[in-house]
Amino acid sequence: MAMCGIIGYVGWRRSAQVLMEGLERLEYRGYDSAGLAWFEGDRVQRVRAVGNLASLRTALHDKRRLSSAALAERRLAGNPTGGATATLERQLGIGHTRWATHGAVTERNAHPHVDARGRVWIVLNGIIENHLELRARLARRGIACDSETDAEVVAQMLGLMYTGDLAQTVAETMHLFQGQYALVAMASEEPDLLVAVRQGAPLTIGIGQGEQFIASSIAAFLPHTREVAVPQDGEIAVLRADEVVLLDAAGEAHPPSVTSAGWDPERIEKDGYETFMLKEIHEQGAAVRATVQSAMAQIQDAARTVLSTQRIAALERVIVVACGTSYHAGLAGKLALERWARVPVEVDVASEFRYRDPILNQNTLVVAITQSGETADTLAAMRLARAHGAPVLVITNAPGSQATRDADGVLFTQAGIEMGVAATKTFVAQVAMLYMVALQVATVRRRLPSEMVGWLAEELQSLGDRIDELIATVDEPVATLARDLAGSQFFLYLGRLTGLPVALEGALKLKEISYVPTDAYAAGEMKHGPIALLSPQTPVICVATEVNVLPKLLANMAEVKARHAQVLAVAAEGFTEVNEYADHVVYVPRTDPLLEVLLAIVPLQLFAYHLARARSLSVDQPRNLAKTVTVE
Ligand code: F6R
């Protein structure tokens, strides 16, 4: 697993500053070292640092101090400009946050990398699979790499092939690089341009006035421009301050097709919240409202393709593929499609699905769920499904992402950009969209009375407001509970039916951001193993949202109590019996049990959040995790 952020800038602002700020906005993707290279006069300067961006800022500051001292010396020696007459015109550079894959976390392995002759500089996101072979090839030419990274191999290879025309060199050399990657390059001899290419990894161009940006995510440059263009895989992007050109495989140049990103710059700021994650938890009501509101029109659009009446009528099976939190959303979607539309549904983690030789045909609808639209395993699962003739519908939060290009139909969740690494508002938006799809399938297949469809649709529409109210009432008591339990070593989560995806997602949130071990089980499974873990020191969190299985869950809670473990419960309003078995209960408004998934998850997100904060952890960028996982 790996993740990096890359950025390039050409224009009129101080490039080192623009790059540094851009990297700060890419921080959420996770990283363990970072670096910048930029033109200062005729020279390329580079700083790299292990650790967070504060270390890189310090390195940048030291470098600047040194270079102004050198300039002063040159002035004293009678060269007033210090030889740097062009400083103001040449604002160009590249930057990188690195997530170690090949080679340890060291300054030497941090990007940008440069070839042995100091001519070609690059930053790279992704993995070059044949880097060992290329490294051997370079060694035969007498070129030894300075670092252990696959990225340096690319820099060296480009340096070796460099003709004095960087765009041409990249075009002629890229067939050597196998894998999924995106790179941005610059050359010491061509101080007015950046050259970039992507092959299965994200890369977006930001078009400004007399300046251009390129980065792994729009977030990196959103305060400067919202005009964006996404190069196709294999297209070479050439960025100059006043122009962007794309070169296709035949070497034909054409202008990029520019669209306007809908995300407001201010929405990616924290709006007064202490962290992005807390802000995003509070935005969940709005995310559900916007998603439900836009769903019908989007589903009507998809009715021309993957969700046509004929296809829905002929449906034999749905397979949901996703990873992590999106997989948990898929589990809730399965229950809705089966209960409401009576279509058999399988849910699989994409990394398993892609290798298990699944049975697919044209009457199997594959629904891929991915907030980023760039998750490598999910993209591979989608490709596999299509290769076997199954239509693919993707549910994503990211316009322009790879998944939107690879699917037969797309439904966009309307959560807005999510900066916290731990998914929150994108989860509830995914579940809401899946429910809208399930209602459509149920309607077309006439599996639910229309009054029931109407009632569920109305309930879904009002759910955003109920989430807002719920957050306002439970935040404080949940925070107190989390602080009280912040010293616990392990948490067990239990749920049944609709309570299970909630338990799984709640447990994932807690382990991701607080690093406290958790496990989550279907409550009926407890006596088949996990009960062995219980002791008076084990808090057990039970999700009680299904009236049919409530007596069963209460029996499970009694078993937990008999082991003197502490029971915490999230229950639907009116399930007062839960009080008898639980030490603490958080009630959520009662509605259809499927819809309660969107409510019951809220206290568990808040619990994870406050517990991690009580442990003084950085919730927005938990260790080892990345927001977008673009490699397998
Ligand atoms: C959890 C989390 C991850 C992602 C997973 C899939 O908080 O963020 O588990 O859900 O990596 O990501 P997407 O949805 O982008 O495919």
Helix (H, G, I), strand (E, B) or coil at 464: helix
CB of 109 within 6 A of ligand 1: the answer is no
- CA proximity to 8, closest of 29, 40, 39, 50: 39
Model pLDDT, residue 269: 67
- CA proximity to 220, closest of 11, 27, 414, 60: 27
- DSSP codes of every residue in 176-210: G--EEEEEEEEETTEEEEEEEEEEBS--EEEE-SS
β-pairing, 317-322 vs 364-370, is: parallel
Model pLDDT, residue 265: 56
Q: Given this chain, do its domains 5-268 and 276-614 carry the same CATH topology?
A: no
Average pLDDT over residues 169-186: 94
The CATH architecture to which 276-614 belongs is 3-Layer(aba) Sandwich (3.40)
**Among the atoms of ligand 1, which is closest to the Cα of residue 629?**
11
**Does residue 411 have a pLDDT over 60?**
yes
CB of 422 within 6 A of ligand 1: the answer is yes
Model pLDDT, residue 86: 40
Average pLDDT over residues 18-24: 93
Residues classed as catalytic: 4, 627
CA of 156 to the centre of ligand 1 (A): 34
**Among the atoms of ligand 1, which is closest to the Cα of residue 512?**
7
Average pLDDT over residues 404-425: 93
- CA proximity to 386, closest of 371, 366, 404: 366
**Hey, whose CA ends up nearest to atom 4 of ligand 1?**
324
CB of 430 within 6 A of ligand 1: the answer is no
Q: Is the torsion defined by CA of 26, 32, 38, 40 positive or negative? A: positive
CA of 427 to the centre of ligand 1 (A): 9
Model pLDDT, residue 64: 76
Q: Please give the share of the chain, as a percent, with pLDDT higher than 70.
A: 94
Neighbours of 486 (CB within 10 A): 16
| Residues sharing a CB contact under 8 Å with residue 213, sequence separation 6 or more, in sequence order | 7, 8, 9, 18, 22, 205, 206, 220, 221, 224, 225
- CA proximity to 54, closest of 33, 40, 70: 33
**Among the atoms of ligand 1, which is closest to the Cα of residue 324?**
9
Burial class (CB in 10 A: 0-12, 13-18, 19+), 249: exposed
Model pLDDT, residue 469: 96
CB of 629 within 6 A of ligand 1: the answer is yes
| Residues sharing a CB contact under 8 Å with residue 172, sequence separation 6 or more, in sequence order | 161
Q: In what order do the strands lie in the sheet with 539-544?
A: 518-522, 491-495, 539-544, 566-572, 584-588
pLDDT band for position 89 (cuts 50, 70, 90):
low
CB of 370 within 6 A of ligand 1: the answer is yes
Choice among 101-115, 219-233, 481-495, 598-612 with the minimum mean pLDDT: 101-115
Model pLDDT, residue 267: 59
**Does residue 311 have a pLDDT over 90?**
yes
- Residues 534-547: tens digit of each pLDDT: 999 999 999 999 99
Q: d(Cα 91, Cα 86) in Å, to the nearest integer? A: 9
Contact of 183 with 157, CB cutoff 8 Å? no
pLDDT band for position 624 (cuts 50, 70, 90):
confident
| Average per-residue pLDDT for the chain | 91
Structural domain boundaries in the chain:
5-268, 276-614
Burial class (CB in 10 A: 0-12, 13-18, 19+), 605: buried
**Does residue 283 have a pLDDT over 70?**
yes
Q: Is the torsion defined by CA of 568, 574, 575, 581 positive or negative? A: positive
Model pLDDT, residue 3: 58
- Residues 185-204: tens digit of each pLDDT: 999 999 999 999 998 788 99
- Residues 553-562: tens digit of each pLDDT: 999 999 999 9
CB of 380 within 6 A of ligand 1: the answer is no
Burial class (CB in 10 A: 0-12, 13-18, 19+), 172: middle
CB of 330 within 6 A of ligand 1: the answer is no
**Among the atoms of ligand 1, which is closest to the Cα of residue 327?**
10
- CA proximity to 182, closest of 228, 233, 246, 124: 124
**Does residue 420 have a pLDDT over 80?**
yes
CB of 621 within 6 A of ligand 1: the answer is no
Model pLDDT, residue 70: 65
**Among the atoms of ligand 1, which is closest to the Cα of residue 628?**
15
Average pLDDT over residues 453-473: 96
Average pLDDT over residues 340-366: 96
Q: d(Cα 288, Cα 435) in Å, to the nearest integer? A: 11
- CA proximity to 120, closest of 238, 203, 37: 37
**Hey, whose CA ends up nearest to atom 13 of ligand 1?**
370
Q: d(Cα 399, Cα 262) in Å, to the nearest integer? A: 9
Q: d(Cα 327, Cα 336) in Å, to the nearest integer? A: 14
**Among the atoms of ligand 1, which is closest to the Cα of residue 371?**
14
CA of 350 to the centre of ligand 1 (A): 11
CB of 116 within 6 A of ligand 1: the answer is no
CB of 157 within 6 A of ligand 1: the answer is no
Helix (H, G, I), strand (E, B) or coil at 415: coil
Q: What does each C-alpha distance from 75 to 218, 292, 455 come to in angstroms?
A: 41, 65, 78
Model pLDDT, residue 592: 97
Longest CA span, the chain: 89
Burial class (CB in 10 A: 0-12, 13-18, 19+), 34: buried
User: What contacts 24+ positions apart, CB below 8 Å, involve 310-313?
Assistant: 311/365, 311/391, 312/440, 312/441, 312/444, 312/445, 313/444, 313/445
Average pLDDT over residues 270-287: 90
Contact of 404 with 410, CB cutoff 8 Å? yes
Contact of 427 with 325, CB cutoff 8 Å? yes
pLDDT band for position 486 (cuts 50, 70, 90):
very high
Average pLDDT over residues 613-619: 94
Mutate to test the pocket of ligand 1, among 367, 629, 631 (most ligand atoms within 8 A of CB): 629
The first and second tokens of residue 273, run together, are 């919240």
Mutate to test the pocket of ligand 1, among 372, 424, 518 (most ligand atoms within 8 A of CB): 372
- DSSP codes of every residue in 262-279: ---GGGGS-TT-SSHHHH
- Residues 562-596: tens digit of each pLDDT: 999 999 999 999 999 999 999 999 999 999 999 99
Average pLDDT over residues 315-333: 98
| Residues sharing a CB contact under 8 Å with residue 468, sequence separation 6 or more, in sequence order | 285
Mutate to test the pocket of ligand 1, among 280, 320, 323 (most ligand atoms within 8 A of CB): 323
Q: d(Cα 239, Cα 242) in Å, to the nearest integer? A: 8
Fold of 5-268: Glutamine Phosphoribosylpyrophosphate, subunit 1, domain 1 (3.60.20)
Q: d(Cα 163, Cα 183) in Å, to the nearest integer? A: 18
CB of 212 within 6 A of ligand 1: the answer is no
CB of 512 within 6 A of ligand 1: the answer is yes
Helix (H, G, I), strand (E, B) or coil at 342: coil
**Does residue 91 have a pLDDT over 50?**
yes
Q: d(Cα 468, Cα 283) in Å, to the nearest integer? A: 8
CB of 504 within 6 A of ligand 1: the answer is no
**Among the atoms of ligand 1, which is closest to the Cα of residue 421?**
8
**Does residue 464 have a pLDDT over 50?**
yes
CB of 91 within 6 A of ligand 1: the answer is no
Model pLDDT, residue 410: 96
CB of 630 within 6 A of ligand 1: the answer is no
Helix (H, G, I), strand (E, B) or coil at 323: coil
Choice among 52-66, 189-203, 601-615 with the minimum mean pLDDT: 52-66
CA of 626 to the centre of ligand 1 (A): 9
Mutate to test the pocket of ligand 1, among 371, 406, 411 (most ligand atoms within 8 A of CB): 371
The first and second tokens of residue 213, run together, are 């940006």
CA of 375 to the centre of ligand 1 (A): 8
Helix (H) or strand (E) holding 414: none
Average pLDDT over residues 316-335: 98
Q: What does each C-alpha distance from 415 to 150, 293, 396, 434 come to in angstroms?
A: 35, 12, 10, 14
Helices (H), 490-577: 499-514, 550-562
Average pLDDT over residues 498-519: 97
Helix (H, G, I), strand (E, B) or coil at 213: strand
**Hey, whose CA ends up nearest to atom 16 of ligand 1?**
370
Mark 40-75 as b/e (b = at least 16 C-beta within 10 Å): bbeebbbbbbbebbebbbebbeebeeebeeebeeee
CA of 422 to the centre of ligand 1 (A): 7
CA of 125 to the centre of ligand 1 (A): 18
**Hey, whose CA ends up nearest to atom 11 of ligand 1?**
324
pLDDT band for position 627 (cuts 50, 70, 90):
confident
Q: What does each C-alpha distance from 591 to 198, 454, 457, 462, 595 come to in angstroms?
A: 46, 14, 12, 11, 6
**Does residue 242 have a pLDDT over 70?**
yes
**Does residue 80 have a pLDDT over 50?**
no
**Among the atoms of ligand 1, which is closest to the Cα of residue 375?**
16
Average pLDDT over residues 295-316: 96
